[in-house]
Amino acid sequence: MTILKLLADVGDVCLDYQRAVMVDLPCRLLQCDEIWGFIHRKQARVPRDERGRGRGDVWVWVAMDAETKLVPCWHIGGRDADAAYLFMEDLASRLANRVQLSTDGHRAYLGAVEGAFGWNQVDYAMLQKLYGPSLEGAHRYSPPEVIATRAEWVKGKPDLAHVSTSYVERQNLTMRMNIRRLTRLTNGHSKKIENHAHAVALHYLYYNFCRKHETLTKAQGGVYCTPAMAAGVADRVWKVSDIVALLVAKENAE
């Protein structure tokens, strides 16, 4: 119980801090995707009388800047139109400039992007993927093989050469490798959606501010760089003690 309370306290300050500083961002090439997880048990195993009570499948919607590798926002919820709109509305509110946006072919994005950005305030294209047959046997938990992709214009003037979801999909792997709750075959899954949200908030504060990004560091000639530094949100590499300091400051203010 003490560990869960600490997770909740740290998760809250991580979320509050990032909401406060992730504004007027200079992002230009944004990619969005959704990553699946579950709360308490997988959807197919949730009894009918317990559905709609925060159990079953849950999705983390993630936005990532292809240039700075910053994750400016995320949203936790279903994989429906309402969740897509809340996610896109939050994303649009954090940007300083017109952006090019790439998503997969999930249809919920269409209305959400128009509702959040307007008809002509974003350059948007979808990356449609064509999959091979589903895998069976020992590989049944692996996604089907992508055999082709096709960029489709949606609105604005997107540069089709930059229509991609590769970076944000790689970020999905980073999440699964670093958040035990998102491992596909795990007994460490979240029992409450609140704890799921706290773990994701902590992960992204560490990713954005503390974790030295290899590609960004190489681009800086070997000088350590984080996504937050590349986006101008931070001026140094954070330490874990800086995250603890946020919690201490909040407790002292109460």
Residue numbers of the domain that contains 91: 2-253
Domain count, the chain: 1
Supply the angle between the helices 240-253 and 2-21 in degrees, to the nearest 10: 90
At 223-247, the pLDDT tens digits run 999 999 999 999 999 999 999 999 9
The whole-angstrom separation of Cα 92 and Cα 21 is 15
Question: Taking the model in full, what pTM does it have?
Answer: 0.88
At 105-130, the pLDDT tens digits run 999 999 999 999 998 899 999 998 77
Say which DSSP state 208 is in: I
- Is residue 243 within 8 Å of residue 10, measured between CB atoms? yes
Helix (H, G, I), strand (E, B) or coil at 174: helix
Low-confidence ranges of the chain (pLDDT < 70): 1, 50-53, 131-132, 134-144, 146-147, 188
Q: Say what the pLDDT of residue 192 is.
A: 87
Say which DSSP state 220 is in: T
Exposed / middle / buried, residue 1 (Cβ in 10 Å: 0-12, 13-18, 19+): exposed
- HSE-CB at 225 with a 13 A cutoff on CA atoms is 19
Q: Say what the pLDDT of residue 148 is.
A: 73
Residues 6+ apart with CB under 8 A from 186: 180
Q: Say what the pLDDT of residue 143 is.
A: 64
Place of tokens 């944004």: 30
Letter for the amino acid at 222?
G
We report the CATH number of the domain holding residue 70 as 3.30.420.10
Closest CA to 75 of 93, 90, 96, 65: 90
What is the overall mean pLDDT for the chain? 89
Q: Say what the pLDDT of residue 135 is.
A: 60
Q: Rg of the chain's alpha carbons, rounded to an integer?
A: 19
